[in-house]
Amino acid sequence: MASLKLKNMYKRYSGGVTAVNDFNLDIEHNEFIVFVGPSGCGKTTTLRMIAGLEEITEGELYIGDKLMNDVAPKDRDIAMVFQNYALYPHMTVFDNMAFGLKLRKTPKDEIKKRVHEAAKILDIEHLLDRKPKALSGGQRQRVALGRAIVREPKVFLMDEPLSNLDAKLRVQMRTEIGRLHHRLNTTFIYVTHDQTEALTMGTRIVVMKDGYIQQVDTPTALYDRPNNMFVATFIGSPQMNIITAKLEKQGNDLHLLFGKNDIKLPEGKAKKLEGTDYIGKEVLVGVRPEHIRDEAMYLESMPESVIESKVDLVEMLGAETYLYLVVEGAMATVTARVNARSKTRTGDVIKVAIDANKIHLFDKETERTII
Ligand code: ATP
């Protein structure tokens, strides 16, 4: 069983870079935690502090209830899988997988048993006599995973383990790592800059930016209830549309105005804004592409949130179609995700309906979520 506690952790590199700021996180046994964020946000540094490969400048790290700050990496009962696999080129797959166990003076029979078991799980039994250079990228990745599995660690740490694989293999290995997590019944911490990987693999996701945690949540909660505009636009593909609009009171109702467009806010949303300073001011409106539709049934059922647009580009992807729309009052092109059989063509001037129940509003200055 391995739970982890990261308490007020900081990493300051010499030269004045604070890579990780006041990182706080409790991880339960058997969670699949993903650290995600753009390049340089501090995710690798955090993982390396957990592994013991990087000193913790300030704060505390516990695995179980044991303080780990000054415990050597080899004594932390963790295994790390790196992006470049870090296999020994002159050793066979078997020896690569057995290496850590040999160092620990594990009995030969036990080593053999564990390597064969891991190789079976990963479907690489037929490759045990080969050297790494005779393996494909996907097979090397499996060996790297195998080397971690044989150690039977309490915690698996993975730093972008799939980024050297082609797109198809990446999707396949994603499922396999998920299955592995299920089977091994241990704690996984996984670093990626790819939000799709994070959403599909994590039981909880830690979104980071500039060394700070932005939000820790389940994939669904992150997608549906982002804390701020950064999380809202980072999670989800194509990304959430952001439009600056004026929030105006008209009678008892609240409306969002941009260009010539006027969207009435549903009662439930309007109620939450009552008595706030935002009325009469500009706010940032967030709308996910799937909540902007060109089909007649949506236009008819949502007459109070229909806007005009000119179609800049149509992208048919098989199962769905993306429309890139020029909307008056919107600074950037607005993306809509519509039915694959949409009749809309590039150059058309069309009406689209926005599902106002799904709108997010952000503060223009702080970019924090208002509703
Ligand atoms: P990437 O996805 O590009 O690997 P990351 O989110 O994992 O990014 P880190 O590698 O943790 O980010 O780096 C966080 C910050 O710390 C960056 O600004 C980076 O330049 C800086 N940094 C990392 N290692 C060092 C170091 N050894 N000395 C000084 N600064 C460093």
The CATH code of the domain that includes 274 is 2.40.50.140
Last residue of a domain, one of 204, 234, 264: 234
Helix, coil or strand: residue 156: strand
Asked whether residue 270 falls in the same domain as residue 245, the answer is yes
Q: What is the CATH number of the domain that holds 35?
A: 3.40.50.300
> What ipTM goes with this model?
0.96
Helix, coil or strand: residue 188: strand
**120 in a domain, yes or no?**
yes
pLDDT at 347: 97
pLDDT at 121: 86
Q: Are strands 32-36 and 187-192 parallel, antiparallel or unpaired?
A: parallel
pLDDT at 348: 97
Asked whether residue 115 falls in the same domain as residue 137, the answer is yes
pLDDT at 123: 87
Asked whether residue 203 falls in the same domain as residue 249, the answer is no
pLDDT at 275: 87
Measured in Å, residue 222 CA sits from the centre of ligand 1 at 24
Asked whether residue 46 falls in the same domain as residue 70, the answer is yes
Asked whether residue 258 falls in the same domain as residue 151, the answer is no
**65 in a domain, yes or no?**
yes
Best substitution site from 34, 44, 194 to test ligand 1's pocket, by max atoms within 8 Å of Cβ? 44
Asked whether residue 304 falls in the same domain as residue 338, the answer is yes
Block residue for tokens 């996701």 = 205
DSSP state for residue 128 in the 8-state scheme: T
Output b/e per residue, 158-174; b: 16+ Cβ within 10 A.
bbbbbeebeeebbeebb
**371 in a domain, yes or no?**
no
Measured in Å, residue 18 CA sits from the centre of ligand 1 at 9
Asked whether residue 162 falls in the same domain as residue 297, the answer is no
For residues 266 and 282, give the distance between their C-alpha atoms in angstroms, rounded to a whole number: 18
| Residue 98: alpha-carbon gap to chain centroid | 33
pLDDT mean by block of 10 residues, the chain; 371 residues: 94 94 97 97 97 96 96 92 86 95 93 94 92 91 91 93 86 89 93 95 97 98 97 97 97 95 96 94 98 96 96 96 96 96 96 97 98 95
Query: Nearest C-alpha to atom 3 of ligand 1 is from which residue?
Result: 39
Enclosing domain of residue 330: 241-362
Q: Which atom of ligand 1 is nearest to the CA of 47?
A: 11
Asked whether residue 194 falls in the same domain as residue 269, the answer is no
**108-122 and 93-103 helices cross at what angle (nearest 10)?**
130
Q: How far apart are the first and last CA of the chain?
A: 39
For the record, the structure tokens of 12 come out as 């300051």
